[in-house]
Amino acid sequence: MKQMNEPLMRSSIRSVGTAAMLLALTRTIADEEGVKAMLADMEYRYVVTEVGGSGQDEFQAKSTRAIIGAALNGGLVTKSPTNYHALLHAIEEAKRGMMVNMASSTSVAVKIAIVRDANWIAVALFGESAIHPMTNHERAGMGIMHLGTDA
């Protein structure tokens, strides 16, 4: 695979949303590590996880728990009402984008990137879904929310 043009890539990253989607789109550990290094240099904080599930209900429940757990364990959010509120809104927005026109019996496997800066948090989902292996195709979703301030 051709090496990433880091200066070009760096100039394309203007928000936590772009950073999160780029990280979610990586397919190899080498690419993921390269993007992580670039984001760290740009002072973004991030975590990556993966979720799979059969059917919308299972995916909905598993993905929300996995994202909240990853964000807490990675130190991206605290157990404060404003942090939880922002993260939950970003999660729900990302899942809505991911689940558009998805049949209830669809199997889903996604990579999840959560990226934040001082004021914003973004959740990006990228992966595949299928009712049958022959119908497998890619899907993506992203949500961004302002973190607000704790009283």
Q: Which domains does the chain have, with CATH numbers?
A: 6-146 (3.40.1510.10)
Cβ atoms of 98 and 83 closer than 8 Å = no
Name the amino acid, one letter, at 148.
Answer: G
Which residues, 6+ apart, have CB-to-CB distance to 148 below 8 Å? 82, 85, 86
The whole-chain average pLDDT of the chain stands at: 87
Q: What is the pLDDT of residue 12?
A: 66
Give Cα 112 distance to the centre of its chain. Answer: 4
Cα gap 10→76, rounded to integer Å: 22
**pLDDT given at position 26:** 95
pLDDT in tens, 118-137: 999 999 999 988 877 777 78
Q: How far is Cα 43 from Cα 12, in angstroms, rounded to an integer?
A: 15
The 10s digit of each residue's pLDDT in 53-108 is: 887 778 888 999 999 999 999 999 999 999 999 999 999 999 988 877 666 677 88
Reduced to 3 states (helix: H, G, I; strand: E, B; else coil), residue 150 is: coil
For residue 1, what pLDDT is reported?
40
